Chain A
Amino acid sequence: DAMVIQNPRYQVTQFGKPVTLSCSQTLNHNVMYWYQQKSSQAPKLLFHYYDKDFNNEADTPDNFQSRRPNTSFCFLDIRSPGLGDAAMYLCATFTPFHGYTFGSGTRLTVV
């Protein structure tokens, strides 16, 4: 029973063409995250939400935006993807009781 669902699993986009990655959760968790993970590297936090309270990491490029219209859904928008944005994008939720629940990730390829 997938509880944090990311769509699509694989996404190919053209250089400079806006792309949106989506994440949904059935857990009703308040805290949600977007991480970027490049090959053989640790995940890098892009954004996190506590409810609708949005927190942008200082080194997250302006090219990356996020929306959370409700508790269940969270979106990552990349306005003008570059080759360097090719990565695995991970969505996660958190509660103090359950800890982290990660989605399966979306692997983004930029061509």
Chain B
Amino acid sequence: KNEVEQSPQNLTAQEGEFITINCSYSVGISALHWLQQHPGGGIVSLFMLSSGKKKHGRLIATINIQEKHSSLHITASHPRDSAVYICAVPPRGGTSYGKLTFGQGTILTVHP
């Protein structure tokens, strides 16, 4: 079973700050997913990455396969970024669409 650890569990920031959320996993994977969930809402997939770095708007995700670590960065944070951010990985050796193991989530609150 792949263990997925996220840090921090809670994060409070002021608008405009640079945010970093970390994710570590225990077993090699084909890809890692970053997801966003607003309170009471559905889930939005932010990134799927298997190597290197991806950028979408103010969001940047990086992964280091050797160190089994990924980070999600938010530049110039905004109150609308307030949400739960979840890191998820498929099973080791499994297909990339297999059952995901989820991190416990990071609750981000950005104050104006």
**A-side contacts of B97, CB under 8 Å:** 31, 48, 50, 94, 96
A102: contacting residue among B40, B42, B99, B103, CB under 8 A? B42
User: Which residues of chain B in 36-82 are interfacial with respect to chain A, using CB atoms and an 8 Å cutoff?
Assistant: 40-45, 47-48
Give the size of the chain B interface in residues (CB under 8 angstroms): 20
**What is the CA–CA distance of A4 and B5 in the complex, to the nearest angstrom?**
29
Per DSSP, chain A at the interface is strand
| Contact B43 A42, beta carbon cutoff 8 Å | no
Q: Which chain A positions have C-beta within 8 A of B31?
A: 99
Known: A42-B86, A45-B100, A100-B43; 19 extra A-B contacts, CB below 8 A, are A42-B104, A50-B97, A90-B43, A96-B96, A96-B97, A99-B31, A99-B33, A99-B47, A100-B45, A100-B48, A101-B45, A102-B35, A102-B42, A102-B45, A103-B42, A105-B41, A105-B42, A105-B43, A107-B40
Q: Which residues of chain A have a CB within 8 Å of any CB of chain B?
A: 6, 31, 42-43, 45, 48, 50, 57, 88, 90, 92, 94, 96, 98-105, 107
